[in-house]
A and B are shown apart, each in its own frame.
Chain A
């Protein structure tokens, strides 16, 4: 009986050790996968950046991407900004009127739009539109051997496909966000003047009164970083996609999700850099 219990204890012991080892192995494996992915992304980014600054450049490709990212995203980003500005004015009115601070609405709208909502919402909308399109296009090129074909035609895929997208993302997002800032503030103005019966000229002067250049500049710096990240994620996931239609679908999803998460995280970090209270 005693021996039996001992062997049972032994079994328990073995099971526990096994479970612990299994857990450690799984954690280790996940960590290795994470390190591998991080390293691969870092190398991809490094290679892509080095091709951005070394000739030959492909101005046609850069222009095409700039039009795609900048011009064709205008309606989506503009609409997002317009309604965000309008909602912001309404919401802050209903909140601020509780302590008679309605006068601050114009300032709140201007600061929120330029510092946060313009770049972040604009970035997220562009991530959905452009990040997905890039991943799908490059991913399809990968699975149909078009990227291999580029190499056989003495054209470096990083220079021809990836560098133009990164440059266009970096350059166009700040411009888009600048437009979004203006439209967003205009949205707030529309609601403020036509719905909440503010005086137009005092609303405008209130908007300008507390707005500092750094508010706008920080938003534009954020936009440039977001534009780079969106293009990077679209290209990275597309370039490494495999396995036909399903692989391209997964690449598209991953591109949008990872770009969105990176936008949110980097938004916090950049805000910390610009407006640290310490």
Chain B
């Protein structure tokens, strides 16, 4: 399977789009992020891999401003984001798009209004114009215009993911986050979604950060891979180097072995 870095694609710029330094976060006595240091270049597609409960989602939510880190710095376009007031934070959100794990579609609204939500509410675009764009975006993720009038609950899991993707790219964000984009999908639909992600990110020229534990997805989407373990980034490297990382943690994870330095937490915390 060709990795994304083998395809004909403009090499990502080295200017950092997102920089995390020493980010920590704890919930009660449990330290989830233990000093995350990470850089994502402009136009780069970074995939963060790691087991369940290692802090992947919390890290993503800290960058998105949904959670507030205890300490450390998160810079987007070289501007500190951890101390933004609510108004500036709302402005910053325009740069972000996010595909949630369960798609997180608004079930009180039809599909097209879900896709057009950021345009209508965030950018105050007239509804008719937003609907046109929504239908075009649905087309971009392989859905026909008749889906637009359906309710999200009438769609299959794969279709919901597509709608979620269309919503994430609708207002053409500079940075798109993907939270476990293939979880809960069959392998074929997972591959379709992976292809769509690669295509959409390429078309937009956006920076992408994906968290996943699906290696097939990681290989397909990533320019660069970072591995998170116990709230720290323990390895970063090019996607094509992942099989020769020389890191026993990465090796164990990539090959999906029960034996190795990573011990699965089977007790409730």
Q: Which residues of A contact B (CB under 8 A)?
A: 56, 58, 137, 141, 144-146, 148-149, 151-156, 160
Contacts and interface: CB of A to CB of B under 8 A. Distances in A.
A160 B97 contact: no
B86 interface: yes
Interface of B: 61, 64-66, 86, 90-91, 93-94, 96-98, 100-102, 104-108, 117-118, 121-124, 167
A152 B86 CA distance: 13
A187 B228 CA distance: 69
Contacts of B97: 152
Nearest to B61: A148
Contacts of B167: 153
Contacts of A58: 121
A52 to B, nearest CB: 15
Contacts of A144: 102, 104
A153 B117 contact: yes
Contacts of B107: 146
B101 A153 contact: no
Given A145-B102, A146-B104, A148-B104, A153 B118 contact: yes
Residue in A56, A141, A154 with the greatest tally of chain B CB atoms within 10 Å: A154
A187 B98 CA distance: 56
A275 to B, nearest CB: 42
A154 B90 contact: yes
B157 to A, nearest CB: 13
Nearest to B164: A149
A156 B101 CA distance: 21
Contact of B64 (A141, A146, A151, A156): A151
8 contacts: A144-B104, A145-B102, A148-B64, A148-B100, A151-B64, A154-B93, A154-B122, A156-B90
Contacts of A154: 90-91, 93-94, 118, 121-123
Contacts of B90: 154, 156
Nearest to B127: A60
Given A154-B118, A155-B117, A149 B94 contact: no
B106 A149 contact: yes
A154 B125 CA distance: 13
Residue in B65, B91, B121 with the greatest tally of chain A CB atoms within 10 Å: B121
List the 5 shortest-distance A-B pairs measured between CB atoms, nearest first. Answer: A154-B122, A153-B118, A145-B104, A149-B104, A152-B98
A155 B86 CA distance: 11
Contacts of B61: 148
A18 to B, nearest CB: 25
Residue in A56, A137, A141, A146 with the greatest tally of chain B CB atoms within 10 Å: A146
A74 B129 CA distance: 37
Contacts of A160: 121
Given A148-B66, A160-B121, A153 B102 contact: no
A149 B118 CA distance: 10
Contacts of B105: 146, 149
